[in-house]
Amino acid sequence: MAPLKILAAALSCVALVACGGGDSGPNQQPSSGPFAVTLQSGAPAVIASEGLSLTLTAVDDSRCPAAAICVWAGEAVARIGIVQNGQAPASLSLSTAPDKGTASYRGYRVNLVGVEPYPVTTTPILLDQYRINLRIDKS
């Protein structure tokens, strides 16, 4: 019977390690990065361990709608306000165009991963409907 108890204890330890050992919550970011952030209008994202706060301020979207035939693919440009620990805030412009999706701020590299939703028709998308996915790395 003792070997079964030892096996059960060992399996419990393996399960705890595999699951992370506890509930860190859905919005917890790793303390060393990289950090994955999704921005929406009116909902700032905070990376508390770094003292960073990011806010979506505007989106200029000229991407060709999915249901259209266009000469140019267009681009989406997300304008983001960023501040660290009350320091001087900055405004970053990140684009879906090649080589325009990365900006730097106080030792961090902010990368645009995606802009959602993708336009389907020529009907404009409202700012509060956008979700901007970012990856933030320490430079």
The domain segmentation of the chain, as residue ranges, is 25-138
Q: What percent of the chain has pLDDT over 70?
A: 77
Q: Which CATH architecture has domain 25-138?
A: Sandwich (2.60)
Calpha distance 64→86 (Å, rounded): 39
Angle of CA points 45, 62, 131, to nearest 5°? 20
| pLDDT tens per residue across span 57-99 | 999 999 999 888 899 999 999 999 999 998 999 999 999 999 9
Confidence (pTM): 0.75
Handedness of CA 67, 71, 72, 73 (dihedral sign): positive
